[in-house]
Every structure is written in C-alpha cells, then in structure tokens.
Amino acid sequence: MTGREVDPVRELMERHRTSCEQAVDALEIAAALEDAGLGPAEAARCRHADVFSLAEELYARVPRRPPTAPVPVPPVRWQQRSWQALRSAVRHGLPAAALAGGVAVLPPVARGPLAVLCGGWLAWAAARPDGASAPDGTVLHRAGYGAGVALLVVLPVTTGGPAGAVLGVAVATAVGAVEWTTGWLRQVGWGHLGAARTMADFRARMWPALPVASALHLLATAGLGLTGLLLLTAVGPRPGGGLLYEAVHRATGPQWAGQAALALLLLPATVLLRCGRATPAVAGLLAAGTAGLLLTAAARYRPETAQLLACGSAAALLLPYAWLVLGRPGAHRR
C-alpha cells in the first residue's frame, strides 16, 4: 500500500489513449468505450453517472492527435447500394421462383428433392460474400444466416398453395430491399455520429429510424406480393370480380399476416448482422424456421398460421433488440 489512491480514469486514459487522441468528440470516445465492453459499472467505478460522462472527462484530459477534423462519414453512394440491392433481389428471388414453378407443375414425389435443391441454392445466395451486401460475422454465422433464410422461404412456397408461393417469392425478392434499408440505416448512423453532441442526442436521432424502415419494408414486401398475385390472377380464371379485388383475396388473411411477420423478422436480423450482433440474428432466424417446420409437420396448425406464430414471436424479440442496438454509437463503427 502506498497510501496514494489510484486514479481509475488515468488507467482508462492509458488503456485507450490512442482512441482518445484520435477522437473528434466525446461521443466517439463513448463509442470506443462501448466497443471495449465498458458499461455503467465501469463508469460508476470512475465516479461518473454513465459512459458518456466518463468519455467527456477523457476527451477533456487527453490532448488531440491529429488536430480536430470532421468525422469521416462514408460517402453516400445510393446508386451503388441500389445496384447491390437489385442484385440481391434477383439472387434471392430466382431460387424461390424456381421452387414455386416446380411445385406447381411437378408431381408430389419430385417436390421434396426440388425443395432441397432450391433451398440449398437460396441458402448459398444468402450466405455468399458479395461486398457490402454480404452478411457479416464468421463463416458459421453466414452459413446459419443462409440456412435460416432458406428454411423460412421454402416452407410457405412449398406448403402455402399458389398464393402462398407467390408471397414467399415476394419475401425472398424483398431481401434486396432489406439490404438497401440496412445500408441506409448504417449511413444514417454514421451521419448522426458526427452531428450528435451527447449520447442521449444520438439515441433520440436514431430511435425513429428502425420503425420508419420497418414500415417501408412492409410496404415494399406487400407491394411485391400484390404484384405477383395480380399476375397470377390475370392469367388464371376469375369468378367475375375486379382484378385487384380478386388478387387481394386470393391470399387469406393469415397468409398476408405470415408474410408480414417474415418480413419483420428478416429486417432486424440483417440489421443485427451488420452491427456485429450475428449470434442473436442467426439464432432468431433458425429458431423461427425450425419452429415453423415443426408446427407444420405436427399438423396442429395450417402452414400460414405456423409461419405467423414462429416468425411473429422471433420478430417480437429481435425488433426491440435491434432498435436498442441501433441507438448505440458502437454499432455504427464496425
């Protein structure tokens, strides 16, 4: 014992000196501390109420190196994001459409092998690295992500009849919209990381982002599904009602709800992957796919009801978690 109290803030200064010297504001230091796993308990040990208050002291005590400069926000390349989203839509939509077409024309004995083949194709498409649109995480995470997407899409396409198949293909194609939306959310986070002055300010700016993105994604997915049903209705016999009316009512209410639940599950799962939370994202997809398969196989629920229950439950867990993660500055530094 030396009789001299150790300054815990100085210890943090030494451990995170590089981050503190290169930070352009206290919020960036707070993000670095969060990335390092520091939380309220560590802040309390340093006699601060929260991590941001601790970051403000570090920012004040550590000299800047290099001189203060604007936060390096990645350039907005919406054209590139749009092109990547279009490629993703085609890459995911093709195997789903091939499966739907095969189920419609092949005998039942051939549908099982076709489902395995197209499911593997879809899993490969979802898991393969492809620049910014690739799922993050380890190879195992990417494989789990692809398997989860394939399982969730194959089930409605093979068991939901013509309308269910169309809605399943629409969800697969809408993965392109998921990719675009995820890139937009990361871009928004980068922008607010430079503009927000406090942690509370950053969270307040980010909180509306995921609800807005979810609503837009639901509209895009429903629009793709309605377009497919319009085409299906136009080429088939109609009882005599209007085209739009017949197309909307070609799918049942539970089928529309199941499609919405699946869409609301894929978005937060992909967001979590991009923000470095791959394990809960993959676990949610695989759990929902497995639960839907078991509920359908047990014949206790219709396929669309099983999809609604499984995907809705998983989405109810992942959406709030993704919302909280997006409010953390560290999620946008990866």
- Greater pLDDT, 99 or 334: 99
pLDDT of res. 137: 67
- The string of DSSP codes covering 81-149 is HHHHHHHHHHHHHHHHHHHHHHHHHS-HHHHHHHHHHHHHHHHHHHHS-BTBTS--S-HHHHHHHHHHH
* 163/292 Cα distance (integer angstroms): 18
pLDDT tens for each residue of 1-39: 444 556 787 888 788 877 777 776 777 778 778 777 777
State the DSSP code for 64.
P
* 118/45 Cα distance (integer angstroms): 55
What's the rounded mean pLDDT across residues 103-121?
Answer: 92
pLDDT tens for each residue of 133-161: 444 668 888 899 999 999 999 999 999 89
| Cβ-count burial 277-286 (b if 16+ within 10 Å, e if not) | bbebbbbbbb
pLDDT tens for each residue of 46-104: 888 788 788 888 878 777 665 444 444 455 466 777 888 888 899 999 999 999 999 98
Residues with Cβ < 8 Å from 86, sequence gap 6 or more? 176
Per-residue pLDDT band for 297 (boundaries 50, 70, 90) equals: confident
Q: What are phi and psi of 132, to 5 degrees?
A: -70, -20
What's the rounded mean pLDDT across residues 242-261?
Answer: 90
pLDDT of res. 168: 94
Tokens (6 digits) for 323: 């919302």
Residue whose entry in the numeric block shows the structure tokens 């986070």 = 189
- Do residues 89 and 176 touch, judged by C-beta distance below 8 A? yes
* Closest CA relative to residue 28, chosen from 271, 195, 274: 195
**Preceding omega of 66 cis (within 30 degrees of 0):** yes
Give pTM, 2 decimals. Answer: 0.77
At 270, the amino acid letter reads T
pLDDT tens for each residue of 166-192: 999 999 999 988 988 888 888 888 778
Return mean pLDDT, the chain: 84
pLDDT of res. 134: 44
- Report in angstroms the alpha-carbon separations of 34 from 19, 137, 169, 187, 248: 12, 19, 39, 20, 47
**Percent of the chain whose pLDDT exceeds 90:** 44
State the DSSP code for 198.
S
- Do residues 255 and 164 touch, judged by C-beta distance below 8 A? yes
* 265/284 Cα distance (integer angstroms): 8
Tokens (6 digits) for 174: 């809408």
pLDDT of res. 5: 58
